[in-house]
A = this chain, B = another copy of it.
C-alpha cells in the first residue's frame, strides 16, 4: 500500500521535507494555519500583490470571486515564483508547464498571476469581465496561457490527465499543475481523473486542493478534514499529503517533493477563504461577492497597500521549445465494393486506422467499447496512440480536450447514447475552442434487442446545439471513410454518428463527400416528393423508392450525410422540384434532429410541407426490423407518407 511505502520513506528520510510533512500527517499531528502569511519570507510580496490585484480587479468589475482567489494566493505565489516552468508573453515554449484553474471562478487570481509575470498589463487586468476583454469571468483560451476553459467544476483535473498522457506520448517534460477547489471534490469526474491518473502513473500531474472549507452556500461535506481527501487520493494510487496552505515554506517543500514523485501527487492545502482580509476570512456569505470601494480600500490597507508593480522572473520552461514534428503522409482510404454489407462503425475503425497510418498526430480514445465502436482496429495498428479510458465517458472527452492542446488530433468514441454522460464536457470543449472528433456508435432503435438504454435517440439534438459544431451521419462505409478523413482537418467539435447494423455500400471508391454536402441518390423529372434521410433510414428510403417505383410513384431520395452544416441548396431544390413536399426520416426523437435541421433551412421565409418521421415513443427491445417499423421510420411508413403527401396539392415550396 502507498501509505505504508510513504510511511517507510518518511521515517527513513526524516530530513526530507516531504518526509517530514508526511510523517507529521501519519503520526496524527494536526497541521494548523501558521500565521506564516505575515512572516518575512521571499514569496510574501508576490502573495500580497496577487491578493491585492484579485481584489482590485473584482471591485473594478463589480462582480467576481475575490474570496476564492484569496484562499489560493499563497499556493499560487510559491508556484509562480519557483516552480511553474513556463515562458510568458509572445515567445511561449511548447513544452512548458501548464497551470489549470479547475476552480475557474478564481480567475482573478490567475489573471493577477499573468500580470505578475508581465504577460498582461495592469490596465488589462482591470478589464476583467468587461465586454470584449480576454479576461472573462471564468478562464478561456482567448488567453494564450489558458489551455482549457473552466468554470464548470471538476473538469480541470480530467483535462490534465489528457495533457499528461499526450505529453508522455510526445516525449515532453512539462508538468500539469491543477488548482482545485474543495467543493468540486464532490464531482465524480474528479475521481475518474484520480482513477486514470493513478492507473497510468501520471507523475507529472500535481493536484493542489485549495481546501478553504466553504462552498457557495455553506460548508463542504468534509470541511477541513484534509486527511480524508488524502486517503481518497491514495486509494486511487496517488501520493498525497496535507499541508497548511498559507505556510509558504511548507508549500515550497511540498512542490519540491511533488517534482520528485514517481506517481501523480495530490497536495491538500488547508486554507481560509478570504485569507488575508480579516473581515471576510473564513466567513460564510462572501462567495462570489466583489468588495465595494470602501471594502476594497479597507482590504488593501490591511495588505499594506502594495504598489502593485512587482514583476517576478519565474523559472523558464525546460525541454524542447518547438512542437514536435509528427509524420504526415498520404491517406490510403480503405475501399469497399458497392453493394457489400459493411457497418459504418466498422468503416470508421478502418478509416481511423488508415488516418493513423498517414498522420502521426492522430490519436484515439475509447470508453472500453473499442470492439463495438471499432477503434480496436486503430488500437491494433497503433497501440501507442490508443488510449483506453475505461467506462468513464467524462474522462474520455476531457482527455481528448487535454490532448488537442498539444497539437494532437484526437478521436474519442463510445456508444452515441453514452456521450450524453459527457454533455457538460462537450459543451465546455466548445468554450475551450477544442478541435476534436467524437464518434458515437449504436445510434437509434435499429440497434435492436438491447433496448432503449443503449439507443442514442437524442445525440443529434445534443451535438447540433454545441457551439460551432459539425454533425455528420453517414449511411455507407465509403462515406464514413471520407468523412472520418475530413474530421481530422476540421476546426471545432466534430461529431459522427455510426450505425450498428451492416448496411450496403452505396458509393464507389473516390466519391467525394464534402462537409455541408449531400447526395441525390434517386431522382426523376416528376418526383412527387423528396425523402431526406441519413444513416439507417436512408436504406429504408431506398427500399421505399423501389416499392413506390413499382407502383409508378416517382420519388427523390437524398442522403443528408452532413446534418450540420446542412446542404441548404439541395434541400431547397428538392422543395422546388418535388411539389414542395419533403419527407424527413430519422432514427432519432423528433426534437432537435434531422427534421429540425431541414426546417431551419427555410428560416425567414415561407417553408414547404415537411413531414417528419421520427421515433415518437419510448422503444423497448425487439429486432431492428420490428423496431424500425414499430417507430414508423421503416420503408412501409415512408411509402405511406409519400402516398399521403402526394395527395396534397403541390406547393412551390420556396419563394
Contacts and interface: CB of A to CB of B under 8 A. Distances in A.
Contact of A216 (B191, B369, B431): B369
A453 B592 contact: no
B371 A216 contact: yes
Interface stretch (A316-324, A387-395, A478-486): A387-395
A622 B458 CA distance: 32
A23 to B, nearest CB: 17
Number of copies of this kind of chain in the complex = 2
A651 interface: yes
A114 to B, nearest CB: 16
Contact of A368 (B217, B597, B604, B626): B217
A592 B592 contact: yes
Given A215-B391, A376-B217, A454-B137, A420 B427 contact: yes
A136 B620 contact: yes
A373 to B, nearest CB: 10
Interface in A240-260: none
Contacts of A392: 186-188
B620 A451 contact: no
Interface in A333-363: none
Nearest to A149: B453
A187 B115 CA distance: 39
Given A465-B461, A596-B596, A154 B61 contact: no
Contact of A454 (B151, B564, B592): B151
Contacts of A166: none
A453 B368 contact: no
A190 B195 CA distance: 12
B607 A612 contact: no
A595 B602 contact: no
A327 interface: no
Contacts of A232: 232, 235-236
B390 A186 contact: yes
A188 B186 contact: no
Contact of A623 (B131, B462, B603, B612): B131
A93 interface: no
Contact of A462 (B217, B428, B465, B612): B465
Contacts of A602: 607, 610
A449 B603 contact: no
Interface of A: 1, 61-64, 104, 129-133, 135-138, 140, 142, 149-154, 183-184, 186-192, 195-196, 199, 215-217, 220-221, 228, 231-232, 234-237, 368-372, 376, 390-395, 417-418, 420-421, 423-424, 427-428, 430-431, 448-454, 457-458, 461-462, 464-468, 564, 580, 589-593, 595-597, 599-600, 602-612, 617-618, 620-623, 626-627, 630, 648, 651, 653
